[in-house]
Amino acid sequence: MRLLETQALSIHFGGLKAVDQVDVFVDEGEILSLIGPNGAGKTTFFNLVSGFLRPSAGAARYQGREIAGLPPYRIAAMGLVRTFQKTNIFSEIPVRDGIATGFHLTRNAGIASILLHTRRAQAEQADVDRRTADILAFTGLTPWAHQLGKNLPYGKQRILEVAVALAASPRLLLLDEPASGLNPTETNELMALIRRIRDEKRITVLLIEHNMRLVVGISDRVVVLNHGKKIADGPPDAVSRDRAVIEAYLGRGFAEGAPAHA
């Protein structure tokens, strides 16, 4: 099943074509990486499909429904959930409370019910507590559950961002540079988690990433943007040997087997 599809999706800032007629699709059950040099339009593309920007032209459909122009909260409630590059959003509250905030999209009890501590509110809170514990265990964050987010090792802070997104019950999870700043050990941990998110949680993953070891290691397919345009789309091995991709982004060393730049 095709979860997300864009057709000629574009946004212009004055004379700058940040995303220019981009056609991208994401099928259910795959891990798709979106790569390209800085300024290629990757995060702008995320902002368009998650509702933080309105396109100048083109279409974006999620599960067959047009979403271009919808507000972010409505798109997230439909199951298209994203993370951001910043890691300090939940730095001043305990880890378990940060994850629990992710469940607000699925809570039905009104503010009065919560304040009066009604039976309905109590039942919802018990469900949130249980699901929060499940996510803590799934992401390996249980030992840090009662620590402030800012006190976690940096790699665990990146995992926390993913955990909060999982609490919003995504069907399609958009990860914006999840491996940024991670060391090799932390990157391996993240790679294993992303695979488990797809394989065990049955959540489709679309990620922006510069770490090519991670991209090649987990992606079913790779899309490459350059100057706002799509220049390649295919399996990692094929994309890494594409002449246009090598010239625009990867460099000849990568094609010859040398480590890619992060």
Q: Are 207 and 194 spatial neighbours (Cβ–Cβ below 8 Å)?
A: yes
- Six-digit token string for 189: 């941990």
Question: What is the residue-level pLDDT of the chain in tens, covering all 262 positions?
Answer: 999 999 999 999 988 999 999 999 999 999 999 999 999 999 999 999 999 999 999 999 999 999 998 999 999 999 999 998 766 667 889 999 999 988 875 555 444 444 445 677 777 778 889 999 999 999 999 999 999 999 999 999 999 999 999 999 999 999 999 999 999 999 999 999 999 999 999 999 999 999 989 999 999 999 999 999 999 999 999 998 899 898 888 664 444 443 443 3
**Which run of H or E residues covers position 162?**
helix 154-167
Whole-prediction pTM value? 0.88
Report the distance separating Cα 225 and Cα 255, nearest Å.
18
Give the pair of three-digit tokens for residue 213. 């070891």
Residue 148 carries which DSSP code? B
Query: Which pair of structure tokens corresponds to residue 166?
Result: 């999982």
Distance between CA 169 and CA 105 in Å, rounded?
9
Q: Measure the CA–CA gap between 143 and 83, rounded to whole angstroms.
A: 23
Query: Apex CA 77: angle with CA 73 and CA 81, to 5°?
Result: 80
Three-state SS string over 97-128 comes to HHHHHHHHHHCCCCHHHHHCCCHHHHHHHHHH
Full strand arrangement of the beta sheet holding 172-176: 80-82, 172-176, 204-208, 31-35, 221-226, 229-234
2-79+170-255 CATH choice from 3.40.50.300, 3.30.420.40, 3.50.50.60, 2.40.340.10: 3.40.50.300
What residue ranges do the domains of the chain occupy?
2-79+170-255, 91-153
